[in-house]
Structure 1
Amino acid sequence: MDINDLRSVVTVVSMLAFLGIIVWAWSRSNRSAFDEAAKLPFAEEQGAEGASRGGNQQ
């Protein structure tokens, strides 16, 4: 087994890992969790606006 065989094995394993991640990301069972995570940056928390401005805003 020379270095080129090792490179071929690593390439195939990497491609299979990539395809596995694609299948996992696009599976229907994960859709609700990903939709919820996508909305997190837009969620407002109670009191977060006042705390980011220094706290004692009236």
Structure 2
Amino acid sequence: MTGGIITLALLLLFVGGWAFIWRPSHKAMFDAAARLPLEDDAEEPRQ
């Protein structure tokens, strides 16, 4: 019984995360995060 509850909870968590990621209103946020590794640093690295 407990295994079924845990499975259901994980399934709901997965579906909720999937719905959050695929919302069109979050596209700009994810596009900005995808460009972060390609941007140059504005200042010199500190040593």
TM-score normalized by structure 2? Answer: 0.85
Q: Which has the larger radius of gyration?
A: 1
Find runs of 4+ consecutive structure 1 residues off by over 6 angstroms. none
Instruction: State the match for 2:31 in structure 1.
Output: 35
Q: SS of the counterpart of 1:44? A: coil
Identity fraction in percent: 26
> Are 2:9 and 1:13 equivalent residues in the alignment?
yes
TM-score normalized by structure 1? Answer: 0.71
Instruction: State the match for 1:46 in structure 2.
Output: 42
For residues 47 and 11 of structure 1, what CA distance do their matches in structure 2 show?
Answer: 48
Greater relative contact order, per chain length (Cα 8 Å cut-off, separation 6+): 2
Unaligned runs of 5+ in 1: none
Unaligned runs of 5+ in 2: none
